[in-house]
């Protein structure tokens, strides 16, 4: 299988917005909001990649770890994930865990009384901030944030609070209180937030490497080339400027929001060429 550009799926969300004009041609003016989910038309890839544009704050949720997902959901795996803030407003935030130690019984009572927002840990963020969110961590992305998200390939999400939102019919979204309370890691610590613009060395910042994926941020200049050896899965996502992904005698133009896949089984070198100053994210699998 050769490198290819993905065909993103636009998913309307009750909380969303829109900022990636390269995708808007597929969306009507009345859409409530979107996330752009990278999908592979040529087979499975070992991660899921999303671009999330949050006009409103997302639901407060948790993802199960591998053991819980396999035991309770008969799933292949749970879901750990990571975010890079691509754009945000001055007062933007994420939610990560709790602002104090809390036990399962107390949390259940706070949820019944609608008081959970008082124990959530709010973290201010700025453009370039990177956050790893291990499975079992209560979390949310705040309003005004456009984020790149990479995660284990799973759709297991347990919502515990949705800010009392309702749809056009007055109906709230389903909550998953019992499973969420079981899946939460109550000993989870505070987030470690890195900013790519504070840490770039020679145009590259290796952000996260865990057992599920590795993530790096790269800057490239006009006429410059970056080279990638064969034998490893990589997803290349352009976040600013314009690029060319070149292989053999072919090239794939990339602009903001585009993702190209370099399959693990592709056995030749791949080049990234800058058509001007540009930034891109490289996500690879756990191998």
Residues with a catalytic annotation lie at 159
In whole angstroms, give the CA distance from residue 135 to residue 132.
10
What are residue 61's phi and psi, to 5 degrees?
A: -150, 170
In whole angstroms, give the CA distance from residue 150 to residue 132.
10
In whole angstroms, give the CA distance from residue 101 to residue 188.
9
In whole angstroms, give the CA distance from residue 84 to residue 285.
17
- Other C-beta atoms within 10 Å of 116: how many? 18
In whole angstroms, give the CA distance from residue 268 to residue 229.
7
In whole angstroms, give the CA distance from residue 11 to residue 16.
9
In whole angstroms, give the CA distance from residue 184 to residue 235.
30
């Amino acid at each position: 299988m050769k490198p290819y550009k993905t065909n993103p799926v636009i998913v309307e969300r009750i909380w969303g917005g829109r900022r990636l004009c390269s995708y808007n041609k597929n969306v009507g003016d009345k859409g409530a909001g979107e996330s752009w989910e990278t999908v592979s038309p040529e087979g499975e890839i070992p991660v899921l990649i999303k671009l999330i544009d949050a006009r409103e704050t997302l639901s407060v949720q948790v993802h199960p770890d591998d053991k819980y997902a396999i035991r309770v959901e008969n799933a292949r795996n749970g879901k750990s994930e990571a975010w890079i803030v691509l754009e945000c407003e001055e007062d933007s935030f994420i939610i990560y865990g709790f602002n104090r130690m809390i036990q399962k019984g107390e949390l259940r009572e706070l949820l019944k009384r609608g008081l959970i927002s008082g124990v959530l840990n709010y973290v201010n963020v700025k453009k370039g901030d990177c956050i790893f969110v291990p499975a079992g961590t209560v979390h949310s992305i705040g309003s005004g944030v456009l984020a790149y998200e990479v995660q284990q390939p799973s759709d297991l999400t347990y919502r515990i609070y949705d800010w009392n939102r309702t749809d056009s019919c007055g109906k709230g979204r389903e909550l998953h209180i019992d499973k969420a309370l079981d899946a939460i890691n109550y000993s989870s610590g505070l987030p470690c937030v890195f900013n790519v613009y504070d840490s770039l060395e020679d145009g590259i910042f290796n952000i996260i490497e865990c057992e599920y994926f590795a993530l790096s941020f790269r800057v490239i200049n006009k006429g410059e080339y970056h080279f990638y050896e064969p034998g490893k899965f990589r997803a290349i996502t352009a976040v600013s400027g314009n690029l060319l992904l070149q292989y053999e005698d072919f090239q794939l133009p990339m602009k903001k929001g585009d993702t190209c896949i370099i399959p693990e089984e592709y056995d030749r070198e791949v080049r990234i060429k800058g058509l001007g100053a540009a930034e891109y994210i490289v996500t690879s699998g756990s191998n």
